[in-house]
Structure 1
Amino acid sequence: MMKNEYVPFLSEIKEVIKHTDIEYTFRMTYDGEVKPGQFFEVSIPKYGEAPISVSGVGGGLVDLTIRRVGKVTNEIFERYAGDRMFLRGPYGNGFDVNLYKGRELVVIAGGTGLSPVRGVVDYFSEHPGDVKGMTLIAGFKTPKDILFHKDFERWEKNMDVILTVDCADDDEQCHIGLVTEYIPKLRLDDVSNAAAIVVGPPVMMHFSTQGLLNAGFREENIWISHERKMCCGIGKCGHCKIDDTYVCLDGPVFNFTKGRKLID
């Protein structure tokens, strides 16, 4: 009997974690294979559905970090621990941590772009011996926009963490400036074999990948995510199509050799 990919399943909210006034993580029940960078469709009857990147996995749970930006997400934010929502997925191509083992790894994330790579950062924070070295460069508009505060406290124990903001409005300890300013300052033993992941707003990804190439990174050692193009999840609506590529199916995670050609 064929599975109907449009039919969602019920998932219970086990915990709601507030990061900012408009960004919460909903920790949902889910048993199954899922990779960082994949996404679920979250739906509420009468309101619609929204594609949300996976921001954490493990222990029969999946984290979905959601920004309140419209009708569906407004309704999601009215849900609390113990409530249930419909999910379908996971969809798309995620990050394979095995590709980065035994290498120096640089992760560059802008704003909510940290969500889909959080699982990768978590994995290597818990298994630091699996990489030769790791650097996380994460940028936000202001200190009030920073996500995953407690995670940063854990991560900085096992990797180099550069937390930067466009401008400061309080006494939080972080650098000032764009993430691209810190790429030339990277100190790597073998840049030709180092791997990099870049996720964030399109302009930030463009200049970050160019900065990495200028620093000596090879195109085939860079991965990006076009998560902003996700739509129905199964390539039927056509909204994610760029040329002959369906981002929902072939992505949202792409090696840069492919991803750089996807100009919408």
Structure 2
Amino acid sequence: MTPRPAPRRPVGTITRGTTNPNRLRRVDRWMAWALREVLRGPVYPPVVVDLGYGASPVTVLELAARLSGVRPDVRVVGVEIDPERVARGRAVADPPRVDFALGGFEVPLPGGGDPLVVRAFNVLRQYAEEDTAEAWRQVVDRLAPGGVLVEGTCDEVGRLATWVDVRRGADGAPAPRSLTLAWRLAGLERPSVVAERLPKVLIHRNVPGEGVHALMQALDAAWARHAPLAGWGARQRLVACAHDLRADGWPVLHGPSRWRLGELGVEWAAVAPQRA
């Protein structure tokens, strides 16, 4: 990868900064499981970035604690475009284990180097859909070999969340692999409520003719069909829905152990935008 000149100012715009403790627990849990082989690979030390962490550094600290069980020497860096937010982070930093840096999509790291994983949650929500490709490209360009961008959105308390697993393709361009949907199952009326928290690349695609719309329709239909299982619990009901979708040809990922947690992943090809 040809090094790019350092930008004179952080790339991007300041987000609202909304955050809450445990807001990102669902994606943290998935990262600790799905990316464990990436984190345990030969990169030393592995650096994970929480990009655009918001007004409080709490999600950076939580991510460091949760990933330390996968790789004790992991370094987590919170990157924010707002100097005041970076100052709040540095007040609780514990370098090199946990550190903070001023920046945006150029993903600067203290001391240089390349991040192995970048998590960007609720960052692109305020951007236009057409800006997504360039933001992905900028971040993917910064990844260490074999690295991962996890880009997604969640509600204010983390009960609904979605994210895309993006890698670097053979041509160097961003290559999304999967979309994961995650719910707090207790009290869930219908799975398609998660559509309001789809990543920016998909949130405007929940219309007829698009794969993500078909997925929402199929999920709701299966959920209604398995209403008799409600007495056994929402976990059993979602597991039954996942089996139905897979039987109908949807490329549903993983298995019951993840579905019972309120996670359902599908291969990206099934939901990739179909029109310009």
Normalising by structure 2, we get a TM-score of: 0.38
Larger helix share, 1 or 2: 2
User: TM-score with structure 1 length normalisation?
Assistant: 0.40
Task: Judging by fraction of residues, say which structure has more strand.
Answer: 1
Higher relative contact order (CA 8 A, sep 6+): 1
